[in-house]
Every structure is written in C-alpha cells, then in structure tokens.
Amino acid sequence: MTLQSFLLRLLPLPQPGRVLADGEWRTLARIAEALLPTVACGVACGAPSGVSGSVPPTVLPGPSREGGLSPEDVADNVERFLIRGRSKRAWRVRGLLQLVEWTPLLRGERPLSRMTLDRRRRLVEARYIDGRGVWGICAKVRYLVLMGAYGDARLHATMSYVPVSQRVRFAQARPNGAQAVAP
C-alpha cells in the first residue's frame, strides 16, 4: 500500500467537479487569511500626504469584493489551478491541507479553521516560520497561498506586474519563432 492509496481512502470525497473537499477549501481560505499581508497604506493607497493606515489584513489591493483579493478568492484560485492542470498530485495538496488543519491539536489547540484570526497568525509566527519537523511541512502551505494570491490576474496592475506574454521583448518576437534581443 502506498501513501497515495492510503490518503485517498482516508481523505473526504470532494463534491463532483471539485478537487478540494469543503473542509480542505475552508482550511486553505483560513490559512490564506492569516498569511495575506497587511498592506502598508498612505499616499500609495490614495490617502492624503502624511496619513498612514492599513488595508484590512484579509484583503490584498485589487479589483474584487471589498476592494481587494479575499482569502476565499485565493482558495478558489488554487482549486482552479489544480482543476485546470488536472493535477495527478492534488492528493498531496489535500493531505497537506489536512495536516495544516489538524496539527494545532498537537499543541492542545483547536483545529486551524476554528481558531480566531489572531490565534492563526500567532501559530504561523511561532511554528511555521523556521519550522522543524511537522511544522516545517505545514509551512509549505505558504507557497499555495502565494500562488493563489499573486497568480491572480486582477492583481497584476496593482503590483506593476506585466505577464510575460505582454512584455515588449516577448511581443517583438520574430515571425519564424526566434526571440528578439532585448535592447
């Protein structure tokens, strides 16, 4: 018996057309909420000169609900990526999300999705950063959150990111397929 076959028997079944079960999606959204940065505001966010503040920490700047990218958007983006890519290793992501959900029990705490935002943030700071053992494995969920957040095309303009296909160097490709040399 392989780890894959064991986990596939153990993990809850997702709804038809989905990759993540409801609990796994909820865990991803809750950890995204804890990991999304608090964006420092001020003049860059349209505030008058000398005024500082912050955007709510659960929202990245960009055109979406509440004026930004929500943790639910991040979870949806990760799931869309797994569906679109028809990932044969989605079971690993699902296993990781289960581990992230239940590992706080080792510290005598609630499962991650039932913790307050403040508790989740403290857990990330205390255990995921420079984590060892099982906490180091749980910390890999950060890469999923980054992929789900910064892979969203709605954020590209606010972050001054230009996709490769829209870069001048890419657009100047020669008709025979050879790339133009950057100036």
Please report, for the chain, the start and end positions of each structural domain, with discontinuous segments joined by +.
17-150
β-bridge pairing 68-69 and 60-61? antiparallel
Task: Assess whether pLDDT exceeds 80 at residue 109.
Answer: yes
The residue count for the chain: 183
pLDDT at residue 45, rounded to an integer: 42
What digits encode the pLDDT tens for the residues 79-107?
Answer: 988 888 777 788 899 999 999 999 999 99
Q: Report percent pLDDT > 70 for the chain.
A: 75
Can you give the pLDDT at residue 53?
41
- Write down the pLDDT at residue 117: 94
Q: What pLDDT does 14 receive?
A: 85
pLDDT of res. 161: 78
Average pLDDT along the chain: 78
In the predicted model, is pLDDT for residue 181 greater than 60?
no
Q: Which residues contact 99 (CB under 8 A, 6 or more apart)?
A: 134, 137, 138
What confidence score (pLDDT) does residue 134 get? 92
Q: Which of 87, 61, 89 is nearest to 73 (CA)?
A: 61
| 65 contacts: CB under 8 Å, gap ≥ 6 | 73
- The stretch 105-118 carries a mean pLDDT of 94
Is the pLDDT assigned to residue 149 strictly greater than 60?
yes
Q: What is the pLDDT of residue 9?
A: 80
Average of pLDDT values for 105-122?
94
Alpha carbons 84 and 114: distance in angstroms, whole number: 30
pLDDT at 175 over 70: no
